[in-house]
Amino acid sequence: MPELPEVEIVSRQLRENIPRGTRITEIEFLTPALRTVVDKATIQRLVGEPLEAISRRAKYILFHTRRGILLSHLGMTGTWRFDDGPLIKHDHLRIYFAAGPSCVGGKGAKGAKAATCTLIYNDPRRFGQVALLDLDHQRFADLGPEPLGPDFSGASFYEDCRRSKATIKAVLMNPTVVVGVGNIYASEVLFRSHVRPGRRANRVSKKESALIVDSVRKVLSEAIAAGGSSIRNFRGLDSAQGHFQKRHRVYGREGEPCPTCAEPIRRTVLAGRGSFWCGHCQK
DNA sequence: CAGGGCGCCTGCTCGC
DNA sequence: TGCGAGCAGGCGCCCT
Ligand SMILES: [Zn+2]
């Protein structure tokens, strides 16, 4: 479900609702089918540990403890929710946190008391992932810079484009170039940059690549500010939907008039993924 | 070895 | 109302 803005929102909500120092009291695997890299017994070493931090890198959510890092990737359809009620279909993992005045998870869910500290991972398609990382892990060694951080620069992006034989859309979605740009935001970024998704990256000018970098920052920041894009099943932990999908200019709008020139938006398939663009506004 | 194709899963929508 | 086809926010593997 998520590209970077949606993962960032979930990560922030987890951070806001589970204070630093809250203890993990139980980790319960509910189905055998969840794709998990370490065996379930190993993950149990986190039980009893206080959470030191919750962070995000690329599209991974990281729960830090002294004895390791619980990694969560949401795949296409993963969601976390606070819920101490009965399980529903496709719940795969349940984490109990120590109850107490410090853990306010679930607050605002529906007012009332109901402060629960039970966190449930649900994922119908099971493309998501849960794993345990050692403190000195090198899991992210090959990943490119964060798109909203200082290392994602016009100069380095232009170099990556120049060296590539792939399309600009593929380069933009290549996590060794920059992380977090998925299929929705790639189309949105390229529309704002006036560059067709199928253009060879090595035919993108320095000026255009600078505009693309700028558009990545703008589109992702705007999406985060809008609570993400809720298409299909994305929900925040408070069940609130994002509303950035209303501001998608081309994604999912095949045949609709281009917001700039009114020409019908086109859809083509690149690397197996739907790509939306305007033949008049993008060259 | 970079890059494209495909499989992994379930669920939803659309056309007949 | 039922049914099959096509589609879906990611990513890793395999082939060229
Ligand atoms: Zn246009």
The predicted model gives A88-114 an average pLDDT of 66
Q: Would you say residue A52 has pLDDT above 90?
A: yes
Tell me the residue ranges of DSSP E strands in chain A. 24-29, 53-57, 60-65, 68-73, 79-82, 91-97, 118-122, 129-133, 266-270, 273-277
Q: Read off the pLDDT band of A100 (50, 70, 90).
A: low
Q: Is the CB of A274 under 7 A from strand C?
A: yes
How many Å apart are CA A241 and CA A208, to the nearest integer?
33
Q: Would you say residue A189 has pLDDT above 60?
A: yes
Identify any residues that bridge with A24 across adjacent strands, giving them in sequence order: A97
- Which nucleotide lies nearest residue A73, CA to C1'? C10
| Bigger pLDDT: A240 vs A208 | A208
Q: Which of A183, A190, A180 is nearest to A221 (CA)?
A: A180
Residues of chain A (200-259) having a beta carbon less than 7 angstroms from strand C: 228-234
Amino acid in position A108: G
Please report, for residues A20, A97, A206, A238, A252, the alpha-carbon distance to residue A54 in angstroms, rounded to integers and kept in the order given.
8, 14, 37, 17, 32
What chain A holds in terms of domains, given with CATH numbers, is 4-133 (3.20.190.10), 154-277 (1.10.8.50)
CA A6 remoteness from chain centre: 5
Q: Would you say residue A116 has pLDDT above 60?
A: no
Residue A108 CA, ligand 1 centroid: distance in Å: 42
Q: Would you say residue A110 has pLDDT above 90?
A: no
Radius of gyration of chain A (CA): 20
Which of these ranges, A71-75, A106-110, A239-243, has the smallest mean pLDDT?
A106-110
Q: Would you say residue A154 has pLDDT above 80?
A: yes
Tell whether ipTM is more than 0.90.
Answer: yes
For chain A, how long is the longest CA-to-CA vector?
59
Residue A259 CA, ligand 1 centroid: distance in Å: 7
Q: Read off the pLDDT band of A102 (50, 70, 90).
A: very low
Straight-line distance from CA A138 to C1' C4, in Å? 45
Tokens standing for residue A231: 């298409």
Per-chain mean pLDDT for chain A: 91
Coil, strand or helix at A279: coil
Question: Catalytic residue at A188?
Answer: no
Under DSSP, the state recorded for A222 is: H
Name every residue whose Cβ is closer than 8 Å to that of residue A81 and which is 6 or more positions away in sequence. A119, A120, A122, A235, A237, A239
Q: Would you say residue A104 has pLDDT above 70?
A: no
The predicted model gives A261-268 an average pLDDT of 96
Q: Would you say residue A35 has pLDDT above 80?
A: no
| Bigger pLDDT: A231 vs A170 | A170
Please report, for residues A155, A157, A158, A216, A224, the alpha-carbon distance to residue A211 in angstroms, rounded to integers and kept in the order given.
11, 11, 10, 9, 20
pLDDT for the residue A244:
93
pLDDT in tens, A231-262: 866 777 876 788 999 999 999 999 999 999 99
DSSP string, A84-149: -S---TTEEEEEEE--STT--TTTTSSSSS----EEEEE-SS---EEEEE-TT--TTTT----TTS
Q: Is the CB of A1 under 7 A from strand C?
A: yes
Percent of chain A that is helix, strand, coil (3-state, to 5): 25, 20, 50
Q: Would you say residue A22 has pLDDT above 50?
A: yes
pLDDT in tens, A133-153: 999 999 999 999 999 999 999
Nearest protein residue to the C1' atom of B10, measured from CA: A125
Name every residue whose Cβ is closer than 8 Å to that of residue A39 and which is 6 or more positions away in sequence. none
